[in-house]
Chains A and B, each alone.
Chain A
Amino acid sequence: MSRINEKFSELNSKNQKALIAYIMVGFPNEKATMSTVRGLIKGGVDIIELGFPFSDPLADGPVIQNASTVSLERGTKIEKFFSIVKKIRKQTDIPLVLMTYTNILYHKGYSKFITDAKKAGIDGFILPDMSIEESKEYLKAAKDITDTIFLISPNASNTRITRIAKTSSGFLYLVAVYGTTGVKTRIKNYTIKAIKQIKKQIKGTIPLGVGFGVSTPEDVKKYIKAGADAVIVGSAFLKLIEKTPESQIESKIASFTKLLKKQTIQK
């Protein structure tokens, strides 16, 4: 059983849903990343997605684009990234998911990259530009090593929902809105409908996470009420990091995380 699966069954037994946080490693620097991670853990986060920057993040909105640029300019490289993951792994047992773009893995070789990531402490991957059609080599390389989390869109047909669910492991990642990451909008009816439809279609075979534009405790509450097993908050954390003096990052992140996490605990 993977660390991610274990986390979901543990939460299930406690009658809780998962709070997943996304952060860009190296934004604005390594020290801030470590403070953020400590804050997230203190606040009770369940899974952390660690972003590795790519020069052309075409599924991301301005906040993550900027964080990628800053991180790259500050010299975040693969080896450096893995050393940070190792440090984080020493401090916690919570699942760590690596989010980046296909070319980063392809360039190094899927197998080599995934093995190295696993050694550092990574439990799964999210690649927003990896479609199930192109995933054969990637899946082969990750098999029995890490989970492969695929994105699913609210406009997916039932056939596609089933295919993506079968290809994914760990959890399914529903893109809440048509758009890039971090765009603040009101919760859409189509997202609520999609959550219900997907849950019906996958029949409990894999947990369903909802992300993109999820930024407040109210958002978390509504998506969980609609049936999501996990919510993913990303850009909101990065915005908070951006405006907080470095010495206060840990405490500010911890209190924001607590507010979000509270909504995932069922009474």
Chain B
Amino acid sequence: MRYPKDGRFGEFGGKYIPETLVPAIEELEENYLKFKNEKNFKKELDYYLKQYAGRPTPLYYANNLSEKIGGAKIYLKREDLLHGGAHKINNTLGQALLAKKMKKKRIIAETGAGQHGVATAMACAVLGMNSEVYMGYKDTIRQKLNVFRMNLLGSKVHPVKSGSKTLKDAINEAIRDWITNVETTYYLLGSAVGPHPYPVMVRDFQSVIGEEIKSQMKKVNNKTPDSVIACVGGGSNAIGTFYPLVDTNAEIIGVEAAGHGLKTKLHSATLSAGSKGVLHGMMTYLLQNEEGQITETHSISAGLDYPGVGPEHAYLKDTKRVKYHSATDTEVIDAFLLLTRTEGIIPALESAHAIAEAVKVARKGKKSESIVVTLSGRGDKDVEEVQNYLNKNVKN
């Protein structure tokens, strides 16, 4: 895998960090480079990915859905079947193992929808480590079951009441904790964002998704997929899906949260509507006002409710290798219901963004073409949110 030594993807990325974190980031980079190719580390991670998390995940041909749309064939990469119900565990097992090798006793993490928090709590429980999770206060309410799951797993959840009380603020607070407890604490970042080496490290741990897609598609029809689609918030499942496929001919599409629509202010479509800037240790695309203040975002899915995006996505957008589209809350609910009823699979609202795009692409495609959609998580956590949405929209 390519490793950008200066932490830059073109002009994006870098490490814009408070000075106190510099030794910690250097220590992390040094250890990551040391362990990532070490035989025993790889063997141990492989063991946990297979026996504990449930890899490899199936590549499921969604026959009913494909027939109903009547275009290209849709395959679902079933990350929703992983332990914990989302792709997040690929990364938390990798980083928690690394933290253990680095002899760090205390793990902190941020979480949006709660999936990364739960996956951190699980990895820490199985590896015998303590974890604390920062979560926006607004998210602790919309995802209260995940808060309880984290508590059950032995993790302490800190609701964050500053700023917009969502993922962005949870990251701010996790960074503040890290600055304060830098000598004892490992910050387990869950998305492909933050200062170098996080975006690279998270990408590498998530690339198992794209690697499996490649070999599984080869078995299905001896070629790479024609299109690959994944949802993008910070962009961890997407970069894990895309990265192993950027050198192929596949059309690659990332789907952002258009919320109430890109023309309103209520969305989280950073790449589609943002501008360049510096936040959370990286240079990337951001949603900001004309003064450079970060603006509040909206998405029906807490996991995509973030005003930034991983720097490698910013690079893939500017180089035009990947197309970034978006789906509105309404389109997402439709896709959610469609997949649930045709296939009996309840997708996470985050993943439903990718489904919404897949439906559009499949409709225009031929039967001989194949589309792979990464179903990054299952939707059990979202049923209440969907119920509220449907009740509200029926009444109106």
Residues of A at the B interface (CB closer than 8 Å) are: 54-59, 61, 65, 69, 72, 77-78, 101-104, 106-108, 128-131, 133-134, 150-153, 155-157, 160, 164, 175, 178-180, 183
Contact = CB atoms under 8 A, between A and B. Distances in A.
A56 B279 contact: yes
A130 B180 CA distance: 18
A179 to B, nearest CB: 4
Contacts of B18: 58-59, 128-129, 151, 153, 175
14 contacts: A56-B279, A59-B179, A78-B291, A102-B16, A103-B277, A103-B294, A107-B288, A107-B291, A129-B16, A129-B281, A133-B6, A134-B15, A153-B20, A178-B179
Given A56-B168, A102-B278, A151 B19 contact: yes
Interface string B298-323: 00000000000000000000000000
A131 B20 contact: no
B19 A108 contact: no
Given A178-B181, A178-B183, A65 B22 contact: no
A77 B291 contact: yes
A179 B185 CA distance: 13
A159 to B, nearest CB: 11
A178 B21 CA distance: 9
Interface in B19-39: 19-20, 22-23
Interface of B: 6, 14-20, 22-23, 162-163, 168-169, 172, 175-176, 179-183, 275-281, 283, 286, 288, 291-295
B14 A133 contact: yes
A65 B162 contact: yes
Given A106-B276, A180-B176, 20 more contacts: A54-B292, A55-B294, A56-B163, A56-B169, A58-B172, A77-B291, A104-B291, A106-B283, A107-B288, A107-B291, A108-B292, A129-B17, A129-B278, A133-B15, A134-B15, A153-B23, A156-B23, A175-B18, A175-B20, A179-B179
Contacts of B275: 107
A25 B14 CA distance: 30
Contact of A58 (B15, B22, B176): B176
Contacts of A59: 18, 176, 179
A207 to B, nearest CB: 17
A169 to B, nearest CB: 16
Contacts of A183: 180
A164 to B, nearest CB: 8
B179 to A, nearest CB: 6
A55 B292 CA distance: 9
Contact of A103 (B6, B176, B292): B292
Nearest to A164: B19
B20 A58 contact: no
Contacts of A77: 291
Classify the interface of chain A: helix, strand, loop or mixed: loop
A155 B23 contact: yes
B15 A131 contact: yes
B172 A56 contact: yes
Contacts of B180: 178-180, 183
B282 to A, nearest CB: 10
Nearest to B20: A153
Contacts of B283: 106, 134
Given A56-B172, A129-B18, A131-B16, A157 B179 contact: no
Nearest to A79: B291
A131 B18 CA distance: 7
A153 B22 contact: yes
A128 B183 CA distance: 19
A104 B19 contact: no
Contacts of B279: 56, 103
B125 to A, nearest CB: 28
Contacts of B175: 58
A52 B151 CA distance: 39
Contacts of A57: 172
B341 to A, nearest CB: 41
Contacts of A69: 162-163
A101 B172 CA distance: 13
B278 to A, nearest CB: 4
Contact of A153 (B16, B19, B181, B280): B19
A156 B22 contact: yes
B20 A150 contact: no
From B22, B180, B181, residue with most partner A Cβ within 10 Å: B22
A55 to B, nearest CB: 4
A34 B273 CA distance: 39
Contacts of A157: 23
A106 B181 contact: no
Contact of B19 (A54, A56, A106, A156): A156
A128 B295 CA distance: 21
Nearest to B8: A134
A40 B278 CA distance: 33
Contacts of B277: 103, 106-107
Contacts of B23: 153, 155-157
A157 B16 CA distance: 19
A178 B178 CA distance: 9
B291 A178 contact: no
A189 B220 CA distance: 65
Contact of B20 (A55, A134, A164, A178): A178
Contacts of A72: 293
B292 A107 contact: yes
B293 A175 contact: no
Contacts of B16: 102, 129-131, 134
Given A104-B291, A107-B288, A129-B281, A180 B17 contact: no
From A55, A131, A150, residue with most partner B Cβ within 10 Å: A55
**Cβ-closest 4 pairs across A and B:** A107-B292, A179-B180, A153-B20, A55-B293
